Structure 1
């Protein structure tokens, strides 16, 4: 009997485990999961009218994954399908849920074959949540150093370094800015539709205020202020018809005369007579430019121009220099955009030019 006891005990244990209801429950759940995660096609998704105007899209979604999942409802238990990501695919976001975004998606970029799907937040980044993390800030499209134009070099490292900094560092650095602040000149006033400079009883018309007809459309001029070091009055050209805006500089003595312009809000370093600007490029990324002012227009010199590809300028009026080689500005990632009730996430960069690069 002693030799049979272990055998009987083992047999009873095996029999007991085989009848364990927990195992049946596990098997049932596995079977249910297999049924829930059945393979589906685009035919199971709601057909919708495709996006024909991107301005109607609340926000866009971006992913770095090779494939993502489309759900038929905003639930992790809903039917889903795995979809390969193609370079030209667009994911137009329309609504936000706890763990999902609803999107409008055109199959094979065919607007007449569009569906509504739900995607996991963990697989995408919304345009209003984009940051500079993982972005190659050095990448440029083209550049100019003095008279040497370059379309082959694709890195800013030829000219210096560019790094992301914290908002706190950016704010602290503003206390060390060396570029001058443009101040309103009380002698420049608006009269009869023109900006005039008045000294004693003499009035000099500088530039027309509104409804200026040009080849590019109708312009108006907004007075920005005086550059004390250059002794020039600065005006901003505005136009609802033209994307590119310019800042024009005028002397007013002995007569009003156009002197130079910039493609963005100017930063002026008095000791160098440098005028710089940063601005979003309507084609790719953003522009950073520095020129040297001279009394004679023919003697003015373009020192540096760089077209960065991976970020846009947030508020160009907040850009500044802390010394002749260090420049700060507020930026957004290239595909960043606000949405209803959602602000873009601003980032901050520091550009450090190589010593004596522009000498």
Structure 2
């Protein structure tokens, strides 16, 4: 009799467990049935406006609806292979059209929390490819087919604080004041002697044969690294720098549109100047056996211009500079800061 009671209890227990499992499965099925799925949309983004950008590089949840409990979700992160456009907004959420490209493309209408995103700024360098170039020249080999600086290094945004903390770290003074340049006001020339005793004269004022404009020369000093006397020449609000060899009067004068910055450790010069056509030009140079500039790398960046006199070495292979979006003209109130790293 006792065995019969025990068996009966066990059977009832098993039936109860099976019933509970069935109810749990039914409940789970019911919950799954109520999950709000993502709405798929077309990849046609011709009319899309108001692009959104991540505030930082943290992962963010994309929801299928503002009901975060019942929504299908997708984890997204800051990536160049995706774009997000604003459709509508509420107090807490942005309704967005989300496009992800690559090997498994997908496009959803969904919702993200507003605190993770900001609106596109037409003057922000975050919205452009900083490594895009029009052409480059490495050790005399011209290349207008490769459109990325990444074969030589990288360009990326840094904070203003980082820029201010690191500027002048790697710059080395290479031009020093000198008393060896004489001024003759009567004849209107500066003069100096070469190592072999030849006398070189530089007109204080003269008229350019090419432009017909008057220019004014001012001595800056002497560069032991270049074995040259350096003059600044102003002509109709334009400035160039001329380098006269102290070693040999027959050496051709070297000209620069800006004074390069010098890094003693790598014995390299860097120039970054705005191009009248597009973007800006980076030039990295060394020295040849005659103490003349020898260009190693030239690259024409297309998506940013620089604020003059803000370029600094921070180590042998890194430069920092203040830059602006090419959409900006004369207004540089919206400037950002770049780190340029290269391998030569």
The verdict on a shared fold, with TM-score over 0.5 as the criterion, is yes
CA 1:65 to 1:231, structure 2 compared with 1: closer, same or farther past 3 Å?
A: farther
Report the alpha carbon displacement of residue 205 of structure 1 after superposing the two structures with TM: 4.1
Report the RMSD for the aligned CA atoms in angstroms: 3.4
Q: Residue in 1 aligned with 2:339? A: 350
CA 1:283 to 1:266, structure 2 compared with 1: closer, same or farther past 3 Å?
A: same
Q: Residue in 2 aligned with 1:146? A: 139
Report the alpha carbon displacement of residue 271 of structure 1 after superposing the two structures with TM: 4.6
Q: Residue in 2 aligned with 1:307? A: 300
Check conservation: 1:247, 1:266, Cα contact below 8 A: no
Matched, 1:278 2:245: no
Which segments of 5 or more consecutive residues in structure 1 lack a partner in the other structure?
1-63, 69-121
Q: Residue in 2 aligned with 1:318? A: 310
SS in 1 for 2:125: coil
Report the alpha carbon displacement of residue 319 of structure 1 after superposing the two structures with TM: 1.4
Q: Residue in 2 aligned with 1:225? A: 221
Alignment map for 1:26-37 (pairs within 5 Å): none
Report the alpha carbon displacement of residue 67 of structure 1 after superposing the two structures with TM: 6.9
Report the alpha carbon displacement of residue 305 of structure 1 after superposing the two structures with TM: 0.2
Report the alpha carbon displacement of residue 172 of structure 1 after superposing the two structures with TM: 1.3
Give the Cα separation in 2 of the matches to 1:251 and 1:159.
32
Matched, 1:197 2:192: yes
SS in 1 for 2:254: strand
Which segments of 5 or more consecutive residues in structure 2 lack a partner in the other structure?
1-45, 51-117
Give the Cα separation in 2 of the matches to 1:215 and 1:353.
37
Give the Cα separation in 2 of the matches to 1:145 and 1:246.
24
Q: Residue in 1 aligned with 2:283? A: 289
Check conservation: 2:193, 2:246, Cα contact below 8 A: no
Give the Cα separation in 2 of the matches to 1:236 and 1:304.
25
Check conservation: 1:281, 1:287, Cα contact below 8 A: yes
Give the Cα separation in 2 of the matches to 1:223 and 1:347.
34
Give the Cα separation in 2 of the matches to 1:211 and 1:261.
17
CA 1:176 to 1:65, structure 2 compared with 1: closer, same or farther past 3 Å?
A: farther
Give the Cα separation in 2 of the matches to 1:65 and 1:344.
30
Report the alpha carbon displacement of residue 180 of structure 1 after superposing the two structures with TM: 2.4
Larger Rg: 2
TM-score by length of 2: 0.56
Matched, 1:332 2:324: yes
TM-score by length of 1: 0.54
Alignment map for 1:15-164 (pairs within 5 Å): 130-164=123-157
Give the Cα separation in 2 of the matches to 1:272 and 1:259.
24
SS in 1 for 2:166: helix
Give the Cα separation in 1 of the matches to 2:289 and 2:233.
22
Give the Cα separation in 1 of the matches to 2:162 and 2:229.
32
Give the Cα separation in 1 of the matches to 2:243 and 2:216.
15
Report the alpha carbon displacement of residue 304 of structure 1 after superposing the two structures with TM: 0.2
Give the Cα separation in 2 of the matches to 1:225 and 1:318.
22
CA 1:67 to 1:135, structure 2 compared with 1: closer, same or farther past 3 Å?
A: closer
Give the Cα separation in 1 of the matches to 2:180 and 2:212.
30
Report the alpha carbon displacement of residue 159 of structure 1 after superposing the two structures with TM: 0.3
Check conservation: 1:275, 1:290, Cα contact below 8 A: yes
Report the alpha carbon displacement of residue 154 of structure 1 after superposing the two structures with TM: 0.6
